[in-house]
Structures are given as structure tokens and as C-alpha cells.
């Protein structure tokens, strides 16, 4: 039932980690996947090559989604090339750097909020009219367990931005439900990705993993099923406004 044959799926932040795994998951089920990246062109192109070698269809596009105009141009380019967008996965985001609130600069504060929340707003705003014309569509946002826990050390603003993504998901779902557009989110817990390679020291990672009942971090592939489930009208056609936790039991609703 997870069949996306001939559907156009746009996934943001696909150079590595969860985004790369999600893009490959959609492609393996027949979707034409548009892979977005900001700085890591090599990583995104590797994802495209991997999909192509596996017999799938993918192309790469670039934009800094913290810039609302760039986000709009990206969506317009995808529609110009493919004619539609059936699924939008707002995965792009970053902690930027760990810092206590009292020591965080204005520049870093705004960057964290823009990369994680403004990008979701800008991409959704431009994609909604496309899905309205189609009479259907699915938006899946990637938030975080931090949205409910307040985050680990030095990540208060990141957690705040992800909390906003979760709230945006619920509100937008109610706004768009009458038009046949579903909006949901996946909230990963501790996942082994380059995100933690950049931002999490070994001791902090050990402490966070110690709080997970399953006793281990998750892998990017373990987030794919949740995203595909929420994107599929056959599997979740009556599901909207939900945040699906994928965290090994670290936090339960």
C-alpha cells in the first residue's frame, strides 16, 4: 500500500541522515523524488546517484530555505519541471551550535529559528496553492523529541523552533483539512546522523542514550516508515494534525 508511483515528492535537507534515507525510501516505491540541499552538494548528488543506480528517479536542487524568496523559487522550479507536488517533506534543519541562552548571539538565534521554522513556513506557504489546484497533497514535517523535552544541553532555541514546527503542523492541518491536504509530522529522538557528529560530544550522547528504554540510538532508516506512512493516503488517509514520535521509548505521549 506504500505505492508512490508517478508521484512527485520534494524532500528538503537530503544531503545525509534522515533526509537521505527518506528520499531513497520514496524512490524505492516509485516516486519521482526531488532532493534539496543547501551546502552539501556532494552528499545530495550521491543520494541522487544511489537512487538512480537502484532504478529510481531523482534530481537535486539547491536553496537556502532560511530565505523565504529562495524557498518560493525552489517550489516554483519543481512545479515548472514536474507539473505538481504530491508530497512535501520539510526535513531541513540544524541546531547551528550548542549554546546557553545567555551566551547566544542575535545572529545565531535568528539562524536557528529560520533554518528550522521559517523554512517550514516558507516551503508550505508556496506549496499549498499547488496542492489546492490538484485537490490533494500531503505535507510531512520533521520536528524532534526536543520539541517536548526542551532539548539537551545548549539547545533551548533549537527545541523552541521544533516546538513551533509541531504547533504549526497541528494548526495547518486543521486549516487545510477541508481542501483534502493532510499535514502531519514525525518527531525523531536520538538518531545516529551527522547532526550529532557536529553538535554532540561523546559524553553527552552517552547520557542521552542512557535515557532510552530500548538502550540504543535509532538509525535514519528507522524514521522512513513513519514518514511514508503519513504521506500515503492509502495508509493514513484519515490521519492529519498528528506528530508521530520515533524515539525508542525515550518519550511517550
pLDDT, tens digit, 9 for 90 and up, residues 13-56: 999 999 999 999 999 999 999 999 999 999 999 999 999 999 99
Q: Is the pLDDT of residue 240 over 70?
A: yes
Dihedral pair phi/psi, residue 120, rounded to 5°? -65, -45
**Per-residue pLDDT tens for 99-152?**
999 999 999 999 999 999 999 999 999 999 999 999 999 999 999 999 999 988
Contacts of 60 by beta carbon, 8 Å cutoff, 6+ apart: 14, 34, 35, 36, 37, 41, 44, 45, 47, 48
Alpha-carbon dihedral sign for residues 169, 182, 175, 125: positive
> What per-residue confidence (pLDDT) applies to 252?
87
Residues paired with 243 in a beta bridge: 185
pLDDT at 207: 82
**Looking at residue 119, what is its pLDDT?**
97
Does 74 score more than 80 pLDDT?
Answer: yes
3-state secondary structure 23-68: HHHHHCCCCEEEEEECCCHHHHHHHHHHHHHCCCEEEEEECCCCCH
Residue 100 host element (H or E): none
Q: What was the pLDDT predicted at 231?
A: 98
pLDDT at 142: 98
| 238 counts as catalytic | no
- Say if residue 196's pLDDT is above 70: no
DSSP 209-238: HTT-TTSS-B-THHHHHHHHHHH-HHHHTT
Q: Residue range 75-86: average pLDDT?
A: 98
Question: Lowest mean pLDDT: which of 65-79, 182-196, 218-232?
Answer: 182-196
Q: What angle do CA 244, 74, 85 make, to 5 degrees?
A: 55
Domain 8-246 CATH superfamily: NAD(P)-binding Rossmann-like Domain (3.40.50.720)
When the pLDDT of each residue in the chain is averaged and rounded to a whole number, the result is 95
Classify each residue of 25-45 as buried b or exposed e, where b means 16 or more C-beta atoms within 10 Å of its C-beta. Answer: bbbbbbbbbbbbbbebeebbe
Report the DSSP beta bridge partners of residue 90.
141
Sorted by sequence, the CB contacts under 8 Å of residue 210 that are 6+ apart come out as none
In a 13 Å sphere around the CA of 75, the CA atoms on its Cβ side amount to: 25
pTM: 0.94
pLDDT at position 197: 66
Please identify which of the residues 4, 26, 158, 229 carries the catalytic annotation.
158
Amino acid at each position: 500500500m506504500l505505492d508512490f508511483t508517478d508521484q512527485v515528492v520534494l524532500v528538503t535537507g537530503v544531503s545525509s541522515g534522515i533526509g537521505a534515507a527518506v528520499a531513497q525510501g520514496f524512490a524505492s516505491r516509485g516516486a519521482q523524488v526531488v532532493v534539496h540541499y543547501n551546502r552539501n552538494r556532494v552528499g545530495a548528488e550521491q543520494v541522487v546517484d544511489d537512487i538512480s543506480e537502484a532504478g529510481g528517479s531523482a534530481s537535486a536542487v539547491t536553496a537556502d530555505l532560511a530565505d523565504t524568496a529562495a524557498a518560493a523559487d525552489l517550489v516554483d522550479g519543481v512545479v515548472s519541471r514536474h507539473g505538481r507536488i504530491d508530497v512535501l517533506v520539510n526535513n531541513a534543519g540544524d541546531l547551528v551550535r550548542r549554546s546557553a541562552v545567555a551566551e547566544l548571539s542575535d545572529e545565531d538565534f535568528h539562524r536557528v529559528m529560520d533554518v528550522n521554522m521559517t523554512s517550514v513556513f516558507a516551503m508550505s506557504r508556496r506549496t499549498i496553492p499547488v496542492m489546492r489546484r490538484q485537490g490533494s497533497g500531503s505535507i510531512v514535517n520533521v520536528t524532534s523529541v526536543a520539541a517536548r523535552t526542551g532539548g539537551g544541553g545548549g539547545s533551548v532555541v533549537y527545541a523552541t523552533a521544533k516546538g513551533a514546527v509541531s504547533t504549526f503542523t497541528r494548526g495547518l492541518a486543521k486549516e487545510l483539512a477541508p481542501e483534502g491536504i493532510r499535514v502531519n509530522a514525525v518527531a525523531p529522538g536520538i538518531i545516529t546522523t551527522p547532526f550529532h557528529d557536529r553538535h554532540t560530544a561523546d559524553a553527552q550522547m552517552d547520557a542521552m542514550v542512557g535515557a532510552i528504554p530500548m538502550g540504543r540510538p535509532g538509525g535514519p532508516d528507522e524514521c522512513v516508515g513513519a514518514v511514508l506512512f503519513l504521506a500515503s493516503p492509502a495508509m493514513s488517509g484519515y490521519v492529519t494534525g498528528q506528530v508521530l514520535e520515533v524515539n525508542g521509548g525515550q518519550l511517550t505521549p
